[in-house]
Amino acid sequence: MSYEKEVIEYYGAEHQLIVAIEELSELTKELTKALRGNPSRDRIIEETGDVQVVIPQIMEIFGFTLNDTFPVMLAKQERTRGIMHAEGETDDQTD
């Protein structure tokens, strides 16, 4: 049994979604603190690791995999790249 299935079976999906929300919030807090001038690389690494633990649990609970999220990720990266390149071309024309 995967770690995700085991932890969800033991604690329950609702509990693990609460944990996921808490971990996302903790990373949010560390990033906010960094932007307020008090960055802690160690805390950001720790909270990013915590988020990486809960993301596969979210996927397990809602029944999707990287095969579902990867195309979304690639499409959003491509869209942002397109915007950046279009803006870069616009900037080039004004220089």
Show the binding pattern over residues 43-72: x = contacts Mg ion (CB under 5 A), - = does not: ----x--x----------------------
* DSSP code for 37: T
Judged on CB neighbours under 10 Å (0-12, 13-18, 19+), 23 is buried
- Told to check if 17 binds Mg ion by CB under 5 A, we report no
Residue 36 beta carbon to Mg ion: minimum distance, rounded to whole angstroms: 19
Q: Does 26 bind Mg ion (CB under 5 A)?
A: yes
Find out whether 19 and 54 touch, Cβ atoms under 8 Å. Answer: yes
| Footprint on this chain of Mg ion (rule: CB under 5 A) | 23, 26, 47, 50
